[in-house]
Amino acid sequence: MRKRTGIRGRLRVDLERMRILISNDDGILAPGLAALVHAVADLGDIDVVAPDSPQSAAGHAITLRHPLTVRRIKVDGPRGFCGISVDGRPADCVRLAVRNLVPAVPDLVLSGINAGSNVGINVFYSGTVAAAAEGAMFGLPAVAFSAAVAGDVDFDAIARHCRLVLDGLLKAGIAAGDVINVNIPPLEGGNPKGVQVVRQSKAEIEDLYVCETDPDGRECYRLGAQYAFGPSDRDTDVVSLGEGYITVTPLHIDRTDYPAVERLRQHFADRNV
Ligand code: MN
């Protein structure tokens, strides 16, 4: 257990008993969250702090315009748990949890399991990844779990794969401040082909805004639910997940383009403008 100051280092599985904060973006009642809580319960003390309503595609938004209402609730069901709901965004949940709500700073932050994959540039839109990234911004190791699913699925089976990947990550060591983005392929066709550690694809999303007319006759546009990625390089999360592999992509909070820093530094040093 850490003090509320945050400690940078590398989390290894040999920590005696971890304190784990779990959040998500599908909301505190989402079955993927309950499955994840259940799948890691034996690893330590679990705190669940999650949005009170679905927040998919919230990205890394935080709430400034209203106070965040929290409720301590018991989620019923076979995978029931006690947790705290927040009427905010995923990043709000993790930030408020670490600052105020949990008894001690977590050793590990988990997010998910999201109903839907978060690969490629969806990483930027993802509230699931943002919740984990918020943990990483506190210098904590963080893992985001998402599954390429649609509709009702067996999240327990998905959670078992998440747990196996987490065990592997803990053995390998997760660098504090890193976000590990994990995606599970559809399981209808059987077990995943394996685990591939791959980079994030930058492939374009080919989506469609559907033009509609609202009840007052105003022109409006709805982003269609269907989308596809454009061509993507091999050895990326988009391609590997599509081929049926579990993908593991370590992300950086520091988004600096270092070669560009050098190039621009040179430019401004030479010309002073
Ligand atoms: Mn979601």
Cα(3) to ligand 1 centroid in Å equals 31
Is the CB of residue 133 less than 8 Å from the CB of residue 143? no
Amino acid at 86: V
Q: Quick one: pLDDT at residue 88?
A: 97
Q: Looking at residue 9, what is its pLDDT?
A: 58
CA–centroid distance, residue 218 to ligand 1 (Å): 29
How many A from CA of 36 to the centre of ligand 1? 14
33 within 8 A of 24, measured Cβ to Cβ:
yes
Helix or strand holding residue 31 (H, E) = helix 31-40
126 CA distance to ligand 1 middle (Å):
7
pLDDT at position 17, please? 83
Report the separation in Å between the CA atom of 118 and the middle of ligand 1, taken as the mean of its atom positions: 9
Terminal CA-to-CA distance of the chain, rounded, Å?
A: 50
161 Cα–ligand 1 center, Å? 18
CA–CA distance from 245 to each of 26, 92, 112, 163, 198 (Å)? 23, 31, 18, 15, 10
How many Å lie between the centroid of ligand 1 and the Cα of residue 80?
20
Contact between 155 and 39 (Cβ < 8 Å): no
Rounded to the nearest whole angstrom, what is the distance from the C-alpha of residue 269 to the centroid of ligand 1? Answer: 45
Which tokens is 204 given? 């374009």
Q: At how many degrees (to 10) do helices 155-172 and 31-40 cross? A: 50
Q: What is the DSSP secondary structure assignment for residue 100, as one 8-state letter? A: I
Which residues of the chain carry a pLDDT beneath 70?
A: 1-16, 272-273
pLDDT of 1: 45
Question: Is there a contact between 47 and 97 (Cβ–Cβ < 8 Å)?
Answer: yes
* Ligand 1 geometric centre to CA of 29 (Å): 12
The confidence score (pLDDT) of residue 197 equals 98
